Structure 1
Amino acid sequence: MTPAVELVTDASAAAAALAPVLIDTVESGASVGWIEPPTHDEAVLWWSALLADPDTETWIARDGDRALGTISLVRAAKRNGPHRAEVIKLIVRREARGRGIAPALMAALEEHAAASGLTLLVLDTETGSLAESLYGRWGWQTVGGIPDYAVAPSGELGGTTIMFKRLAGR
């Protein structure tokens, strides 16, 4: 059974709930912007800042009170981009992977984005990762890649793949 997916409405509670998800993700080898896993306090501060951004909306997949995964949508801040947004931080705790949480989070985000009038989503992901193949299966198209884009937790440089998806217009 897929856990409930909900749009964040209480930023302070969500920041505390999402901190362990971020820490677990980095500990499992995904950098998602970090080289070393953040402390709990660093993770709460990071989530608090993201959740305070008025251009960002975040969803949480929960099993009871426990956050298992998350995804965020960041609307373009430029005047020429009211139709587009960036998808960031699709992350799922290791023990919850393979339960349909990532596709449920992406589906909730895409449904909301389309209903909000967005017609174009973009994202970047680690080249060669499981995430890259999942996005392809979900209808995302590859634009290209940038080699040596980010330092992974292993210390190695890794590439990033830029992808997009068109949503049905209103």
Structure 2
Amino acid sequence: MTDHRFEILACDAAMLERRIGEFSALLQACVHDGASISFIMPFSIDDAEAFWRGKVAPSVAEGSSLLLVAEAEGRIAGSVQLDHDTPPNQPHRAEVRKLLVHPDFRRRGLARALMAELEAHARLLRRSLLTLDTRTGDRAEPLYASLGYQTVGVIPNFCRDPFAADKLDGTTIMYKAL
């Protein structure tokens, strides 16, 4: 998908490796901006790189997940993952993971464009149900609802707050039938 302001691309393992610094900077910026995406402070660029190399690259290389990127102004401005490595009794389902938009590029429609492209790829993979979770009350929760994701429920005290070790946040479980 191309827009006059940004372009959405599928990223293979080679591109991820070539641009690992940009992916790491994106993740670190989002975590430092308060995104509750599995990480807590302090969160270094080395921590971010370890995530991309250790968790994302293997599944992208083996083809069990899809990594989409939004490029804007010559850099990676956002990304999202579709994990379609499901058990034999769930070939119709996939999970949305780690929707990231760099704070410098928010409010430009990148998240919506990334999700639309992710859903198009899910349909090509014959996936008719997408699931995700997001921190309850986070900025992403109303975005997902506006895209047609339905809330199943909330699990309280699900994860540590990125900044406050003694604070636990809930997570909202959502789904969308395609």
User: TM (normalized to structure 2)?
Assistant: 0.89
C-alpha distance in 1 between matches for 2:174 and 2:113: 19
Tell me if the contact between 1:76 and 1:84 (Cα under 8 Å) persists in the aligned partners.
no
Gaps of 5+ in 2: none
Give the CA deviation at 1:64.
Answer: 4.4
Paired residue type of 1:164 = Y
Aligned twin of 2:163 = 154
Contact 1:90–1:102 (CA under 8 A) maintained in structure 2? yes
Aligned with 2:132 (options 123, 141, 144): 123
Deviation of the 1:79 alpha carbon = 1.1
Residue deviations 1:106-127 (CA, integer Å, cap 9, x gap): 0010011111111110000011
Runs of 4 or more consecutive aligned structure 1 residues displaced over 6 Å after TM superposition? none
How big is each residue's C-alpha offset from its partner over 1:61-84, in whole Å with a ceiling of 9 and x where there is no partner? 012431111100001431111111
Task: Name the residue aligned to 2:58.
Answer: 52
- Structure 1 position 37, deviation (Å): 4.7
Shift of 1:15: 2.7
Amino acid corresponding to residue 144 of structure 1 in structure 2? G
| TM-score (normalizing by structure 1) | 0.93
| 1:73 partner amino acid | L
Report the alpha carbon displacement of residue 45 of structure 1 after superposing the two structures with TM. 2.0
- Per the alignment, residue 104 of structure 1 pairs with 113
The answer on whether the counterparts of 1:11 and 1:52 sit within 8 Å (CA) in structure 2 is no
How many Å separate the matches in 2 of 1:15 and 1:57?
16
Matches within 5 A, 1:16-31: 16-31=21-36
Number of residue pairs aligned between Structure 1 and Structure 2? 167
Contact 2:10 2:68 in 1 (8 A): yes
Give, in whole Å, the separation in 2 of the partners of 1:146 and 1:27.
24
Q: Quick one: which amino acid aligns to residue 59 of structure 1?
A: L
Letter in 1 for 2:39: W
Unaligned runs of 5+ in 1: none
Over 3 Å counting, the alpha-carbon distance change for 1:74 and 1:14 in structure 2 is: farther
- Give the C-alpha shift of residue 154 in structure 1: 2.4
Contact kept, 8 Å, 2:156 with 2:171, in 1: the verdict is yes
Call closer, same or farther: CA 1:100–1:80 in 2, change over 3 Å.
same
CA RMSD of aligned residues (A): 1.3
Residue aligning to 1:163: 174
**CA displacement, residues 73-112 of structure 1 (integer Å, 9 cap, x when unaligned):** 0014311111111000001111100001000000010011
